[in-house]
């Protein structure tokens, strides 16, 4: 896919990996809507950085835990840009509950994580499908290696990402042949989420990878960009983890 003068919606695009993906798209000449829920200052700063690269960009607040917000976010993108070519479902949330502590993970936490991490990507895809079909667009989901492993911040986070990986396959089937749907599954990143594990844990995680180093956001964004651009790939999840899942 040629990205110049295309339009992308990146949820959770104001910080971390979402911001890195948005910058990578802008460097290719893609105009953007940055979806955010709480990080207004960071989203505004990201828009400034994108516009400095010569593209149109706008920040739109959306609480993706609310079903109506998903359709509103897509509508706002179409109103602002007139089209939608790429949907990046990057927004996510989690809770930090050790796996054995089953009684510490309550229904409200379960539903909130599932709503943002799994229901919202489905609703956004549903809302965006007509616009994406019209231009032969694509969807890129941000999953996680937690979707393949029994370890991470919580059971519900792992299950939500496992569901997103299978949703990627299902959407690829449902939207073919007009729309491609793929996912990336990053390992541990030194973002605000990653820092919550503490320096000692992060160093141990990095040493457990085959490459013995932390992941660069730019490398993961480059992997995302490769799936967005490659018109021969759909229904796939690309693991970007330095070789961690091979251990």
Please check whether residue 109 lies inside any domain of the structure: yes
In a domain, 91, yes or no: yes
Q: For the chain, give me the number of helices (H) and strands (E)?
A: 9, 7
Would you say residue 178 has pLDDT above 80? yes
145 in a domain, yes or no? yes
Question: In whole angstroms, how far apart are CA 18 and each of 89, 94, 159, 170, 203?
Answer: 9, 16, 21, 23, 23
Please identify every residue annotated as catalytic. 157
Q: Which residues of 157-193 are buried (b: 16+ CB within 10 A; e: fewer)?
A: bbbbbbbbbebbbebbeebeeebbbbbbbbbbbbbeb
Q: CA–CA separation, 220 vs 222, rounded Å?
A: 5
Distances (CA, A) of 138 to 59, 115, 177, 205, 224: 21, 22, 11, 32, 12
Q: By the 8 A CB rule, do 183 and 138 touch? A: no
**What pLDDT, in 10s, does the model give residues 12-49?**
999 999 999 999 999 999 999 999 999 899 999 999 99
- Per residue in 206-230, pLDDT tens? 888 899 888 899 999 999 999 999 9
Interval 107-161: pLDDT, tens? 999 999 999 999 999 999 999 999 999 999 999 999 999 999 998 899 999 999 9
2 lies in some domain: no
135 is a domain residue: yes
Is residue 202 over pLDDT 90?
A: no
Question: Which residue range forms the structural domain that includes residue 198?
Answer: 7-246
Q: CB within 8 A of 136, min separation 6: which ones? A: 1, 178, 179
Exposure of 51 by Cβ count < 10 A (0-12 exposed, 13-18 middle, 19+ buried)? middle
In a domain, 1, yes or no: no
Count: domains in the chain = 1
Record the pTM.
Answer: 0.95
CATH code, domain carrying 36: 3.40.50.720
């Amino acid at each position: 896919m040629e990205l110049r003068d295309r339009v992308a919606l990146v949820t959770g695009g104001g910080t971390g990996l979402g911001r890195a993906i948005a910058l990578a798209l802008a460097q290719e000449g893609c105009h953007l809507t940055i979806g955010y829920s709480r990080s207004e200052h960071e989203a505004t700063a990201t828009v400034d950085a994108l516009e400095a690269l010569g593209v149109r960009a706008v920040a739109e607040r959306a609480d993706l835990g609310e079903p109506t917000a998903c359709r509103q976010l897509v509508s706002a993108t179409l109103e602002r840009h007139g089209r939608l070519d790429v949907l990046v479902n990057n927004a996510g949330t989690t809770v930090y509950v050790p796996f054995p502590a089953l009684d510490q993970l309550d229904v409200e936490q379960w539903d909130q994580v599932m709503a943002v991490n799994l229901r919202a990507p489905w609703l956004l895809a549903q809302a965006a499908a007509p616009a994406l079909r019209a231009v032969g667009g694509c969807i890129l989901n941000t999953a996680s290696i937690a979707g393949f492993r029994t370890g991470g911040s919580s059971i519900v986070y792992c299950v939500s990402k496992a569901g997103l990986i299978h949703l990627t396959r299902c959407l690829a089937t449902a939207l073919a042949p007009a729309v491609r749907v793929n996912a990336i599954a990053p390992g541990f990143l030194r973002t605000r989420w990653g820092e919550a594990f503490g320096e000692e844990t992060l160093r141990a995680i990095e040493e457990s990878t085959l490459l013995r180093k932390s992941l660069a956001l730019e490398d993961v964004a480059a992997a995302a960009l490769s799936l967005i651009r490659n018109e021969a790939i759909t229904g796939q999840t690309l693991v970007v983890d330095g070789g961690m899942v091979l251990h």
